[in-house]
Chain A
Amino acid sequence: MTSPTRPLPKFPEPDSEPFWQATKDHRLLYQLDAVSGDVVFFPRRSTPGRDLEWKESAGFGTVYTYTVIRQHGHPFFRARAPYVVAYVDLDEGFRMLAEVVEDPDTVHIGQRVAVDWEDHDEVSVPVFRAAGAA
């Protein structure tokens, strides 16, 4: 019997597909609106008047808020609990929901974190760890 696995993005889904393609090379992408200068996340298709350029993040950010999930109905997450899910404010100006893979007792708002990658067959899932950790 195989152990339950993390739910992964499903395709076709054309807005998020370029983001997930880039994860295979451990690149964290976001978009910049060339007209307004706004940072855009999650990714989406350009439309007339909104010309979105793909950019690559250095992968460093700050925990804006977090929770420790202790109860979940999905077998993967049930086995993984307790784990931390946070909004991370990336230094390039976009906010991303992601897991912070650290001891829940050590995670705090304002904490500096860096992207790490959990490799799967089709994609790599970006997660965060305390910045400076090995």
Chain B
Amino acid sequence: MPDRTAAIAGVYEHPDRRVDGLSKLQIKAECAANALADAGLSWSDVDAIYDAGEAGQMSGVTIAEYLGINPRVVDTTSVGGSSYQFHAAHAARDIAAGHAKVALLTYGSTAKSDERAIGTGARIVAEPTPQTNMEAPYGLTLIGNYALAARRHMHEYGTTAEQLAEIAVTTRAHAVRNPDAVRGLEAIGLRHTGEITIDDVLSSRTIADPLHLLECCLVTDGGGAVVIVAPDVARDIRKPPVWILGTGEAIGYPGNARDITTSAAAISGPAAFDRAGVRPDEIDIAMIYDSFTITVLTMLEDLGFAKKGEGGQYVEGGRLRWDRPGAPALNTDGGGLSSNHPGMRGIFLLIEAVRQLRGESTSQVAGARLAVAHGNGGQLASRHSGGTVILGRD
């Protein structure tokens, strides 16, 4: 086991999926205050901030001023939904280097209140890039992009629609146990907020073949915050520290011969496991970015839980439910598919992993010791980012 150089000391997830009237900055500040309280720390302890820029330009400056923090480290890495895995990796590195003691990650989104159609919306091209000029004429939606990867996965490995649907069924089962998730499903207008079956998924309408509505994440408001601290600070916090044991980062983009059934996780995952000195089969909790069912299936393979092409069989029979031994529990908060997805879900992967390792989840896995949080940002079948964080308790 490598040296323990940084720990997650405080977390907070905004309980609401509709926060009508609040701004992103207000959500970020509310979450930050609660995450610091969770850790037993105060604003003046914070000396490093990490921000993905969702609240606007020059976010490093904006958020420092708004929160009244004077950071010695500022990192505004913005790589989509996995930004928070990158932030956690950078915070651990910055703390290990002695540049900071208390790092604050915040996220706030009003995607639902703004009625943003993230998955199927028309993208306004303000300033053209070579990518937008080559692709915008063809009307590929974000969901369609992931569908390209799903279609190829099915073709190459015989992955079935039923196997993909298993992932949505499992995450919904976890959401039903999470009161905030159920309240959220009601708040955003879902008629049916109970468990779903494979048939329910496959009989929901097709948005972009082969992906059905119930294979797509929600669009919600939301936010969260994570406080990461140095070992000497971790000794005095309110709750047991959750150690960052290893991290990995990678980027993927279209190539002439790229296999789109493999993502950046195939680089970031092994790097993180190697640095942590942990094997995938030791993991109790798999928090894997579930923007779509195919995202999870691809990353279960890339992270080493299943061989490439065998992810479909791996998830069969509700194997990743919280109460099934023999495989990690998947997205025990309900995930982006059934709890919340305000646009960049990576921070919630860290938060729920911490809850599990503290024994605080609504689908608590008894004795959970090790978790992986893998974020995927951007679009799976074209340009995307992968960030992997391995977490462990004492």
Contact = CB atoms under 8 A, between A and B. Distances in A.
Interface of A: 6-11, 13, 15-16, 19-20, 39, 41-44, 64-74, 76-77, 80, 83, 85-87, 89, 93-99, 104, 109, 125
Interface of B: 117, 120-122, 125, 128-141, 143-144, 147-149, 151-152, 155, 205-211, 254-258, 260, 381-382
A16 B140 contact: no
B207 A70 contact: yes
Contacts of A68: 206, 208-209
A66 B209 CA distance: 8
B256 A39 contact: yes
Contacts of B151: 65-67, 109
Contacts of A99: 138-139
B139 A65 contact: no
B137 A8 contact: yes
B139 A85 contact: yes
B225 to A, nearest CB: 31
Given A16-B134, A67-B148, A85 B117 contact: no
A20 B137 CA distance: 12
B128 A11 contact: yes
A101 B260 CA distance: 23
B256 A16 contact: no
Contact of A77 (B133, B139, B155): B139
Contacts of B210: 67
Given A65-B155, A99-B138, A109-B151, A70 B133 contact: no
Given A66-B151, A109-B152, A44 B130 contact: yes
Contacts of A94: 256
Nearest to B120: A71
A74 B256 contact: no
A7 B140 contact: no
Contacts of B257: 93, 95
B133 A13 contact: yes
A86 B141 CA distance: 12
Given A67-B151, A71-B208, A85-B139, A95 B254 contact: yes
Contact of B148 (A7, A10, A65): A65
B209 A70 contact: yes
Nearest first, the 3 A-B pairs at minimum CB distance are A74-B122, A67-B147, A9-B133
23 contacts: A7-B137, A8-B137, A10-B133, A11-B128, A13-B133, A16-B134, A44-B130, A65-B155, A65-B381, A67-B208, A67-B211, A69-B141, A71-B208, A72-B122, A72-B141, A73-B121, A73-B122, A74-B139, A83-B139, A85-B144, A93-B256, A95-B257, A109-B152
Contacts of B139: 6-7, 69, 72, 74, 76-77, 80, 83, 85, 99
Contacts of A16: 128, 130, 133-134
A10 B136 CA distance: 10
A98 B138 CA distance: 6
A10 B128 contact: yes
A125 B139 CA distance: 13
A42 B137 CA distance: 14
B137 A9 contact: yes
Nearest to A74: B122
Given A9-B128, A10-B125, A67 B209 contact: yes
Contacts of B122: 72-74, 77
Contacts of A19: 134
A97 B256 contact: no
Contact of B120 (A41, A72, A97): A72
B138 A95 contact: no
Nearest to A77: B139
B133 A69 contact: no
B212 to A, nearest CB: 10
A70 B205 CA distance: 9
A85 B152 contact: no
A44 B222 CA distance: 39
Contacts of A95: 254-258
B155 A7 contact: no
A77 B260 CA distance: 25
B117 to A, nearest CB: 5
A42 B148 CA distance: 19
A30 to B, nearest CB: 9
Nearest to B209: A68
Nearest to A118: B137
Which of B117, B149, B256, B260 lies at the interface centre, i.e. has the most chain A CB atoms within 10 A of its CB?
Answer: B256
A131 B139 CA distance: 22
Q: Pick the most buried of A65, A76, A77, A85: most chain B CB atoms within 10 A of its CB.
A: A65
B130 A42 contact: yes
Contacts of A93: 256-257
B129 A13 contact: yes
Given A69-B140, A70-B206, A71-B120, 17 more contacts: A9-B128, A9-B134, A11-B128, A16-B134, A64-B152, A65-B148, A67-B147, A67-B151, A67-B211, A70-B207, A71-B143, A72-B120, A73-B120, A83-B139, A95-B256, A97-B135, A99-B139
